[in-house]
Amino acid sequence: MALPLKALYDKQGFVIVPGLVRDDDREELEMACDRVIARTRAGQWPYRRTVGKQFPPYGNDHPDSWGVQHVMHPDLGEPCFVRWYTSLMITEVARELLECGEEDLQMELFNLLINPLESRFALRWHRDDVGEKATEEEEKAALEKWRYGVQWNTALYRDACLFLVPGSHRMPRTPEQRALSETMDPPEDPLEMPGSIQLVLQPGETVFYNSNILHCAAYEPGEKRATLHATMGDAKGGSTRARNVLQHGLEWMKEVRFREDLDEKSVAMLDLLLKMHAESGDAVGFSLEN
């Protein structure tokens, strides 16, 4: 008998959900992605993930990109991203996995993962908000409190970039896993990590995952990728997620011109983010080292 979605998520740290991009939304999202990717590659959008930088701050030193940041930004003029992020299909799954009410849903990050044009690029094995040198006790403490947010990747095209270790969101690394995740270098073969699997998403599939699961990624030039990469929080977590979210630079979300185009539900979600921001201050630092 298959486990319910929440139980499966709690057990393995991820779940794959199909059908969160409706047929009548797919073309609109694909075209919007094509436009923002073209702007980014042409140097007309400064908020990008640059080859050579695995984590924030990404800088602007390399011409090749593996991601587009802040796709809900009003300067991009692509309202379909906000509509999809706050859609009932997405928020219902988020509420189930977070076990919270709609009034607790916190707007967070929405970015786009793309293929580099000329460079192979990979991320090292990591947990998004736990340092690579964390002790076993520090890992345990961080993992126990990391239940107030969910991250997801929605593939518009086939995506085989993500590798993870099921169940590692609940336990510290073994000595063998630690040896392969303490350096700054990405792995030559991700499947050498004990317990690791490769996730292959078909177009329209979404993987929701605990972002402190042990994971890495590998990107190949020439393989078209447009994967919607987002997070959503449960405001009952207070400042738990502040560093991991605010390190991406979300000052633009305070602007009236972003707020004025949102519906009532989206404004409520935004207000919870701004409350966390106000209570946490600006000096949140960065979760991981490049």
Q: Given this model, what pLDDT does residue 290 score?
A: 84
Q: Would you tell me which CATH number, out of the four given (3.40.50.1100, 2.60.120.620, 1.20.200.10, 3.30.559.30), belongs to the domain 5-280?
A: 2.60.120.620
Extract the tokens encoding 263: 């519906």
* pLDDT digits 0-9 by tens, 155-172: 999 999 999 999 999 999
Q: Is the pLDDT of residue 206 over 80?
A: yes
* Exposure on the CB side of residue 110, measured as CA atoms within 13 A: 22
The percentage of the chain sitting over the pLDDT mark of 70, rounded to a whole number, equals 99
Stretch 120-139: mean pLDDT:
96
Is the whole model's pTM more than 0.95, yes or no? Answer: yes
Contact call for residues 216 and 122 (beta carbons, < 8 A): yes
Q: How large is the C-alpha radius of gyration of the chain? A: 18
pLDDT at 240: 94
pLDDT in tens, 90-110: 999 999 999 999 999 999 999
232-250 average pLDDT score:
96
Q: Where are the domains of the chain?
A: 5-280
* Spatial separation of the C-alpha atoms in residues 251 and 248, rounded to whole Å: 9
Assign 32 a pLDDT band (cuts: 50, 70, 90). Answer: very high
Average pLDDT, the chain: 96
233 phi and psi angles, rounded to 5 deg: -115, 165
Output 280 or 28, whichever has higher pLDDT.
28
Mean pLDDT (whole number) for 171-187: 96
For residue 225, what pLDDT is reported? Answer: 97
What is the pLDDT at residue 283?
63
Residue 193 neighbours by CB under 8 Å, 6+ apart: 125, 163, 165, 177, 180, 181, 187, 214, 216
**What would the 3-class secondary structure string for the chain be?**
CCCCHHHHHHHHCEEEECCCCCHHHHHHHHHHHHHHHHHHHCCCCCCEEECCCCCCCCCCCCCCEEEECCCCCHHHCCCHHHHHHCCHHHHHHHHHHHCCCHHHEEEEEEEEEECCCCCCEEEEEEECCECCCCCHHHHHHHHHHCCCEEEEEEECCCEEEEEECCCCCCCCCCHHHHHCCCCCCCCCCHHHCCCCEEEEECCCCEEEECCCCCEEEEECCCCCCEEEEEEEEEHHHCCCCHHHHHCCCCHHHHCHHHHCCCCHHHHHHHHHHHHHHHHHCCCCCCCCCC
Q: Return the amino acid letter for 172.
A: P
Tokens for 116, please give them. 């580099």
Instruction: Give the whole-angstrom CA distance, residue 108 versus residue 199.
Output: 24
C-alpha span between 186 and 180 (Å, rounded): 9
